Structure 1
Amino acid sequence: MKASRGPRPLVLTAALTLALLAHTGHAFLAGYRSGLGLDGFGICPAEMRNCSCRSYTGAETEIDCPEADSTVHLRIEPHQYAEMRCQRNRRYDFEQIPQLSIGDTNRLTIDDCPFPHHQSILQLVSFLGTTQVKVLWLKNNANHEQSASLVRHHFAGLDQLDRLAISNAKLSDIGPDLFEHLPNLTWLDMRDNIFRLPATIFDALPKLRVLELSFNSLEELDPRLLRHLPNLRLLTLWHNKLRTLSRAAFTGMPELERLDLSSNQLESVPGDLFADLPHLTELAMGVNNFRTLPDGLFRANRELRKVKLASQRVELETLPHDLLQMLPVLDQVSLERVGLVSLPGTLLFGSANLTQLNLANNQLHQLPEDLLRDQKALQVLQLQHNQLTGLPAGLLRNTVELHTLRLSHNQIGELSAVALQALTKLQELYLDHNQLHTIELHAFKQTTALHTLHLQVNQLAFETLNTLPATAPDTGDQEQLTDHIPAPDEFSLLAQDGTPFQHLHQLRELDLSSNWLTAVPRDLLLNTHELQRLNLTRNNITSLTYANLQFLAPAITVDLRHNSIFEIDLADMERLVLLEPRNFDEQTGRARILLNDNPLHCNCIAYAFAQYIQNRLATAVYDRFELVANELTCHGPEHLEGALIKDVPTRELLCELDTPSTAIRHCPAPCRCYIRPEDTGVIIDCSGQALTEVPELPRPTTFGYRFIELHLENNNISALPDSTTASGSSGWAEVRELYASNNSIAALAADQLPRSLRLLDLSRNRLTALDGPLAESLTASTTLTTVRLAHNDWTCQCETTQLLTFAHANQRRIEDFGRLRCSDGRPLEQMTLSDLCVDRTHVIVLTCVIVSVVACLVAALSLVYYTYKLELKVWLFKHGLCLWLVAEEELDRDKLYDAFVSYSHKDEAFITEHLVPTLERDPMNFKLCWHVRDWTPGEMISSQISSSVEQSRRTIIVLSSSFLESLWGQLEFRTAHLQSMAERRNRLIIIIYGDIGNIYDLEPELRAYLHTNTYVRWGDPWFWDKLRFAMPHPPKVRGASGTASTVVKSGVSTAGGLFMKQLQGAAPVDDRLELIKPQVTPATPPALTTPPTEPISSATPAPGPFVISGNGGGVGGAGAQLLHQQLSNAYRASGHINGAFVINSNAKQSDV
């Protein structure tokens, strides 16, 4: 506990300290602002009138006046700056702005606000409370018609102003005294639409150091305009309309260092134009109309460092020979886009400190060899977009500091070994978009620091990179170069030296796209350890092997897209990668090869490549390389054309066994042979060649393969060769898959099949039987997995049972088992041995004897039966024998009803809506005894129950929970049960309706009956079918005939049914004694999903004899008396007495 309390005092102390500091800082800031006249919002006064004031960011504050629809917007940071922006075309009332006190400010900006006519700028912004401004920007006041033109009194009080910028201001009439109140101004920017300046306007600005007069429309410079600016350092006259200049225009500015005359209309200048500018360091004269320049133009400007003459509107063609001579500190020269055709060799003599020279985008055909004689400090040389055909051998001999050389978009045809030999510090070389076809072997021997080399869009070919000697043939003709045959010593040089890239150990980026290369230069694999990107797109590379991809650079990206690669052979890649020592740094990355957009031929050569793309190789391979080919499609063979290589089944990658250059041919004529690396199989396709015998097959093991897949479909072959007698050179024994469908093979022996056969297709031949040895051989084979035998002339006789036995025992092997047919069309799938091997003579004799005996017996019995029919039935029935011979209709001929329905009044809805209507109408047409309709009022209920049971062929008990509570229902069950036992016939049908609870809780008699007899359950999908079957079955099936064929007699149809009569005015009642009670119709329980009908227990007692007599043996005599004796006092308490219905008030309602 003590340890857990330790840090708490420290935390509390720190929190209190921070709170105290925050409070103290807030108080200090509030006091500071209060001392400045500021409130908590910054500079906002307590009374803001009609303006809004809010803090912006940090120390900045924004004010809008008026608040609702602002016309003036202020943004202020005290002592730093204040900006005022007005809304155009609005009426301004600066008096609405509250009085502020921001003190002296460094910068004041007035944007889009009109100048007052009789006030100074300080008076205009007097509400700011500032007296001095260092920097003033006046912008866009010319947009207001009511604005005054800028004049001298506007600058009154700004004598300490240091910088002034005026853009798009209203200067319709500029006075020569405009700047008299600004004696300390050092920086002036006047731009946008100034056409003329008074000659003495700058005389009041002796301290001016920077003068910006760009984006105006000045056409001339008055010699007096700049005469009194002794401290001027920068003069910008860019984007004016000056046509001529004189030396006098620049007199009086001895300290000028930077001068910009670009974007004017100058066509020529005098040679002494800059003679009075000895300290000039930067000069820009681009975008003019110079056709010539005078000699000695910069002779007096020995401090000149940068000269820009770029982008002339007309072609300058050439330059004076001494234009840039003897400028000891000259650093940068830009002569881009000036139309130069030639250059004098002495142009740069004496200017030894030049570091950047831009001669791009001209029309130079050649360069003087001494042009760069003195430029030892040159670092960047830009010669792109000219018409150079080559570089003089000594042009770059002294440029030892050169690190960037741009020669793109020229017509250079070859690069000699001496052209770059002095450039030991060269880092970037751009030779793209030339006509380069030759690079001498040691052209890059001295440029070992080179890290970027662009050679795209040239005519470089693999042969030229590998076979040229140290001094290339003197030819500019590509055809002669291609026809050049290297001498033996040249090949030895190649073996020793490699390609021109062998010395570029620090190369990081090489672009060789759009050339004529046919392979990846080997030196790029072995010597360029730092190479990060190699672009070989749009070349003529046709094939790749694993050797072409073994780059030592660990994280290189090689782009091989848009080549002619039709073959990628990586057969040994996985094995070699697994053998390589894992000495590369996995964190630096892996080689990434881009291969999309190539016309790949998907054959066996691409097998290993397809395995890689489909992620089926070892993980180490993917750690070493990333081959990007997600969009690479097959350009052949025809059946795979257009398929993505990642989706092609590798089993379909095949190659022809023999090629036109094969010396020893293995493929038999006229077959076509292929090899498949997926399973090292040889496919020999002889299908459709009208062959009559199997040709001599090669042995695949002799040339590195394991087995043969032989296709002989659609020929006229009548027999297969014998594998035991085949010659030693034959490959028949090495056939594993034999496709011989649609031939004329009529017989087959076991010794004709190769032992290692795994697929046998003999469908559509003339086979009639399988002999025993063949069937045993096929069954015992451990390699055979697939057999096809359909569409043959199979003979199905007792002598040919081997076929049937084999077919049924090898159903899993026989692929077309379901289509096997005998010659007579019988399916073997449904045949057994007994269908084939039957002794027909014995069968016929035995059948005739049996039929004769049976006929005699039937005739004798029929004669006896029809002679003594009545006596026989009576005797049999009296003794209870063969009662099944006595038709039930004969026993029940005099019964009035088909069934008596017993149920509880609570189940009335089920009876009236389902049971009675369905049984009494088509197609059943049964006649039911329904107490609501058929009982006679006034009679004893027990008598009517006995009478209804006795007069009905069946008694239907609707057994429900309500029925179990009804004493009359139980009486009806016992009556029907006793009658069934007396007649030894099952006349009781029980329908379980709803949930009756646990059957073991029922009374013993009912529970015993349910255990030993079948019953039906409401909700069973077969309910009506089962109920109809349990009902009486007369000779004529009930419901078989329609209403037209039914003869109605006393309400009973000939089919044993009845016409249901609608009770008029009679309410449904139950329990026989409840005719006087109000009726309550219960809801019908939902149909239940029940198990099938329970079977009758084997313990069911056999039905006893049924005797038709009046001696009291039936239910109507002694049976009825027995039933009445079993009634309890509760039953006898209610009933009919002398025609009156008496109810015992002591009886329970459930018993009534």
Structure 2
Amino acid sequence: MAAEVHSTKTRLCLCVFGVLLSMIPATFSLSCNVPDLPCLCEGPTQGSGDHIEYHRITCFLTGEWNVTIGVIPLTRSLILSCSHGGNGTEEPADLKEDLFHKFAGVLQNLTMRRCKIGNLPTEIFTDLILLQRLLLTSVDLNGERLSAIGGIKKNASVKLYSNKLHSLNSDSFGNYFSNVSSLDLYSNSVQEIGNGTFAMFPSLRKLFLGNNTISVVKEGAFSGLQRLSELNVRGNPSMFDGSWCLFKNVPFLTTLDVSFTGLTNATQFNCAPLVHLRRLLIHDNNLTKLDGSVFALMPNITFIDVSNNDLEYIHSSAFHGGLNGLNHVDMSGNHLRDFPILAFESTPNIKSINISYNYLRVIKKGTFSGQASLQTIDLSFNRLHTIDMFGFVALDNLTMIDLRHNNFAIFPENVVWPFDIQPPHIPIKTFLQGNNFNCGCHWMFYIRRGEFKDTYPFFILSDNSTWTCKAPSPVANKPMMTLPLEDFWCPYYNDEACRRGSCECYSRDVDEANVFFCNNNTMHSLPNFPANTFMFECDGCLIDDQVTLQVGAFQASARLTFLVLQDIGLERILPGALQEFPNLQQLDVSYNVLNTFSDDIITNLTHLHTVDLSNNRVNSLSSNTFATNLNLTTVKLHSNNLKTLEDGVFNSTTYLEVLTLHNNPFVCNCSLFWLKQWLQSHLDVVPQLYDVKCYVNSSNPDLYPIIQVADLDFGCYNPDVLTVQEYNAVIVTSTLTLLFLMVGAVTFRHRRAIRVILYTRYGFHVLHDDDDDDVVLDNVRWEYDAYIAYSDEDIQFVLENIIPILEDDDNLRYKLCVRHRDFPPGGCIATTIVTSLEASRRSIVLISRSFLQDEWRLLEFKTAHQRVLKDKRNKNLILVFLEDLTKDEMDDDMRYYVTANAYLSTTDRLFRENLLYEMPRRPLGEIHGDVDER
């Protein structure tokens, strides 16, 4: 019996394995003939039988991997990965000398990850004559077990990431002369490098020692590396503590990376000639200065990165000394407040200079001068506010200047003028986003008006659509290039109040009209501004209250358009006080103590569109207050003492868009009933509508939203307002509307049942998808109309309910695939399930507890579900629940499907109709003309 169970389980595993194998891309094979070892083989590339050779094999080692490696097929690239150190334990494994002997004439790449190695024999790699790449990462190597590396004979790359190397010396890599060309010891714990450590690698061209803790480097550490071209020691923060001239034994270096090493001075770079050096990376250190000719012993240098240091000083000759090949310099992220002039006069081929993220304030005359090859200058994220004349000059090939996020108040005109450029010329992209632009004065107005590009076609202001104004205050944070031309103002100092600093004064570019902002209690009385004043704003500007505004308070000005008199203690505005400003458009007298606002204060101000009387003590307004102000769009009356408003006060405000009335102590009586009606017809005009409240009667201290107060409570309601006929019409209309809504609600709630009945009983299709039901004549994959998946315990339900509905009906005879009846004897169950499902137009899955406990039945559901996901057609899968089940009893796929899709229940009295509704419209037999005649 046990043997039979084992045979059944084996058969199940092989069948499922076959199904999974069919889903894997053809470029991979799982039949690597590696017993008891999970491997993934890519290829093969050549050979056959026992001599097959794979392109790459990846094996996941969990047991006695040091023994089983010998059974892995031949491969060019072998990747061995261990999950628990290897050898089935956490203990390291001693490798055998002939462990990789069988791969001698084939293996080119060998990788071992997290496989803890004990003994590493010296001769283990000597037979791998084709080995080009060796990667041993996290294998617990230490400095006493590296002699095998010296035995590599091929010109190979060796990477020993994340091991336990602490110190290296002349004995670490054995006594062989290796042909290793690249050695990477990144991310170990190396603290000391002794004399002659790398003497066994005369062919070494690249050496990586980054991310260690190197603090001691002996004088002969790099001796013998006459071919070394790239040295990387980044990420060793104590490497240069009291060290000697480290690089004197590596004269052929072309790339040197000493970033993140705690370097505090640059003497290392002029203590020995590095005449072949091209790239020098010294970023992210602690350098505070660059002395004169510091790079003079690197005459062929092309790239210097000294970014993210603490540089405060650069000598004017730091880049002198015949650096004819220097192309790129990065000094970003330092503390430079000044930059020397003519610093690059000895670098004729310089192309890119980056001094971003410093503290520069001024570009002095001659700073960037005569560099004919210079293409880009990055000065972003500094504190620049000035560029001197000839700060940029004779830069014939310049294509980009980045001045973003500095402190320029206006466009730095000296970026433009010094250039003696004759067209045609490559356009110079200039970036200035994030500066503190004052959107006024002639340059900004000139740019906004679009004339800049016509006069200077060789300049492109690439990001001017993002420029925002920081001043003047009324336009702060507004985009400059969409700001109206009349909002561009220059500082103005021709008035006494402006000269004293009592007011912020501007003159408008477009027409030289004056704009004045006076705030913060700086004056004893309102000033007399010039007649061409366009805007006057006083927000709490008076030391003493201005109780009355009378005629002659200001000099008459036909230009005055905006007048703001906030918080100056106004109690009265006399008639005629504003009549000398016939073009006034905005009047703001908020936050004062006005009790009245008479009819004749704003009479004949026909251009007025905004009046702000909020936060005063106004207690009434007559019906003629706004009678002559036909263009009003905004009226603010909130936070006053208004108890009533005369009927008709807003009759002339045809264009009113905003009316604020909240925070007033209105009394809802018959004289205010008109306001409720007006509010009902202007709901979109009144913000905070439900804060417009009133007292309903004197005995109730509570306030109620006017719009919600009953008409009867206003005390003037007429019961005859509606005629009997109108009343009856309202009743009939309301009844019909309610009946229509009830019918619609019932129809919506039972919409599926209605569609099912219309389809199954009358053949009428409503939103029924037939896109795969009629076009099947040429589709050879269909054998069945439906596949029935069910538990053995539910076979009786299939025989008594499913088959009679779908196969025995005289009108619709569907062809079903039933396991007990239609599966071929002796076949692989998994394969038969997959092929039968693929040959069926629908999959009907009968769910019960016994179904959920049967692994074969779950395979049927998962295969049907995968088909739905592949074809993106939910209708292909029909779930039928034979009993009530909770979602906790289902697996994740079924729970997800039931949550997102409809399913059938046998307890539904329309179960038969619902099942037929989910089936194809026409059975296969009807389409192919082979319906049985009974």
* Bigger strand share: 2
**Larger C-alpha radius of gyration, 1 or 2?**
1
